[in-house]
Amino acid sequence: MTTSEDKPLWLPPMSLVVIVVIIGAISLSPFAFIPFNLTGQALLLFIVLRLFCYWPPMVRWVTSMPVFHRTMLALLVGSMILGHYTLNSRAYYPYVSWFIFSTVREDDPVTCREFIATTASGQKVRLLVEQLFPSIVQIYPLDDPTQYSPAQLDELAHAMATAYNQHHADDPVHRVDLVVMAVKLHPPAAESRAQPSCQLLNRYDISSAR
């Protein structure tokens, strides 16, 4: 049986309480100097390491692995940890955290740029990179000027139209519009925000020669 002398000095809950207090002091207090997205991940990492080191089912699982498998597991977990601390989820995906709701935005109105195609029959089709190219999980927002120059937006519009036409030869895209959709978060009492406004930013003619 494990005696009190054999137990590690960092057993919870006291160790976790101390760590939470430290995180609150350096990340959540008026004198914060380290972002919480770093210290919060450090706390999660601390908990995961404890599971690997002291939780009996986890210990049995790891020790039963061949050495090669343990080495690969360590490399994968280590890569994930390093990816988290780059704070660049797109450049190092998938060995990094997935920031779904990473920040709170108070923009009003909320805007979103989209590509809307018009086919030969006059049908309106929304073109999404992630649907046309399934290997691409997510792209930068189209309103990011550091990622998309006018020439790159032109190339993207034509690339998506080409990919769409490969699967819809009977009704191909003839034109692609880049539009900005806007929805007011706090409209006046007499107005409704059910339907977003739409403003045309650019129009791309799709020719078969390109």
Among 109, 155, 149, 93, which Cα is nearest to 129's? 155
Cis amide linkage into residue 66, ω under 30° from 0: no
Answer yes or no: do 90 and 115 share one domain: no
Q: What is the pLDDT of residues 152-206, one digit of tens each?
A: 999 999 999 999 999 999 999 999 999 998 888 777 777 665 677 889 999 999 8
Domain span holding position 74: 65-103
In a domain, 51, yes or no: yes
Overall pTM > 0.95: no
Amino acid 128 reads L
My answer on whether 201 and 116 are in the same domain is yes
Domain co-membership, 117 together with 86: no
- Rounded-to-integer distance, Cα 113 and Cα 204, Å: 15
Domain final residue, candidates 10, 33, 64: 64
Q: Where are the beta strands (DSSP E) in 59-196?
A: 110-119, 124-127, 173-183
- Domains in the chain, number: 3
* For the chain, percent of residues with pLDDT exceeding 70: 79
Q: Is residue 210 part of a domain?
A: no
Do 123 and 98 fall within a single domain?
no
Cis preceding-peptide flag for 13 (omega within 30 of 0)? yes
CA dihedral 92, 94, 96, 102 (to 10 degrees): 100
Q: What is the pLDDT of residue 102?
A: 56
pLDDT digits (tens, 9 = 90+) for 112-161: 899 999 999 999 999 999 899 988 877 888 888 888 899 999 999 999 99
**Lookup result for tokens 């054999």:** 6
Q: Which of 10, 4, 17, 5 is nearest to 49 (CA)?
A: 10
Q: What is the DSSP letter of 98?
A: -
CA contacts within 13 A on the Cβ side of 22: 11
CA atoms of 199 and 175, how far apart (whole Å): 16
**Top-confidence residue, 190 or 209:** 190
Residue 164: strand, helix, or coil: helix
